[in-house]
Amino acid sequence: MQGAFNRDDLLEQLARSIFTGEYAPGEFLPREVDICHTYNVSRSTARSALQTLADTGILVRISGQGTRVRDPREWQLLDPRVTHWLTLYSEAGQFYMQDLLDFRASVEPFVTMEAATRASAADLHAIEDALSGMEAAWHTSHAGRIDPLFDVFDVAFHEAVYAATHNVIWTQLSHVLKPIILAQVARTNRTTDSLLESVACHRRVFEAIRLRERRQAGEATQAMLDRTAADLATNAVAF
């Protein structure tokens, strides 16, 4: 427990403790001094990590009282680190995971339509590269062994689409949604057949964007999301 704990390590540990539910909303965390002893760091380091968690709305620190976990409604879910911790440490139905999934499902068709209108040549290139990566990863996948790169390129595809809107807000939202999307594709792409289907769906989205067909882009995205949802529903039985 005691070897080489720096600020970032401590931050990760504390986040894990909170997101796993070890410290529930409303509960107090140990005092700064106790944290220092537990993780073998100085008070400066402990305070630094605690402050970061307070800045993201996860903790509230009151002088003379202590540090407690805030109501999850106050957590800044629009901070990529928060969604990262959420997907990494939290249970599926915990906190606001479902809201993130719903949000992604409801806005992505719209995002793709925006991309169809605004995508530049460079954007199309980036999207196509991700698509090529998916195809390559399909070729290197076997029945029992899916190439892990497939998921990486899958996520890259979606990030490239968000970036193609040429709006910083959508681009940054893609960073927030990235952990969510990654968790979802990781559970969806399980068989080589599924991978091939996925590539086909993504290609239809890309083609619509390339041809600047707004409505078609939206529909293709909706179809892609529906397929993912159906795939997750069948896989859910396996768990």
Partner DNA sequence: GGTTGCCAGTATGTCCGACATACGTTATTT
Partner DNA sequence: AAATAACGTATGTCGGACATACTGGCAACC
Q: Which partner in a copy of itself, DNA, none is near 52 (CB below 5 to 8 A by kind)? A: a copy of itself
- Count of residues near DNA by CB under 7 A: 25
Which tokens in the block code for residue 75?
A: 């957590």
Residue 117 and residue 208: Cα distance in Å, rounded? 10
Residues paired with 28 in a beta bridge: 68
103 scored as a contact of a copy of itself (CB under 8 A): yes
Query: How distant, in Å, are the alpha carbons of 89, 108, 181, 202 from that of 199?
Result: 30, 17, 16, 5
162 scored as a contact of a copy of itself (CB under 8 A): no
2 scored as a contact of DNA (CB under 7 A): no
Q: Which partner in DNA, a copy of itself, none is near 110 (CB below 5 to 8 A by kind)? A: a copy of itself
Give the per-residue contact string, 28-67, with DNA (x = CB under 7 A; - = no). Answer: -x-xxx--x---xxxxxx-xx--x---------xxxxxxx
Give the per-residue contact string, 114-153, with a copy of itself (x = CB under 8 A; - = no). Answer: x---------------------------------------
Residue 179 and residue 87: Cα distance in Å, rounded? 6
Q: How far apart are the first and last CA of the chain?
A: 33
* CA angle (230, 128, 222) in 5-degree steps: 30
Residues paired with 62 in a beta bridge: 66
- Judged by CB under 8 A, the chain residues 163 through 222 that form the site for a copy of itself are 167-170, 172-173, 176
Q: Judged by CB, which is closer to DNA: 62, or 168?
A: 62
Q: Which partner in DNA, a copy of itself, none is near 206 (CB below 5 to 8 A by kind)? A: none
Which of 189, 203, 115, 193 is CA-nearest to residue 159?
115
Q: Is residue 96 classed as helix, strand or coil in its secondary structure?
A: coil
Task: Summarize as ranges the residues that interact with a copy of itself (CB under 8 A).
Answer: 44, 47-48, 51-52, 55-56, 73, 76-79, 96, 99-100, 102-103, 106-107, 110, 114, 167-170, 172-173, 176
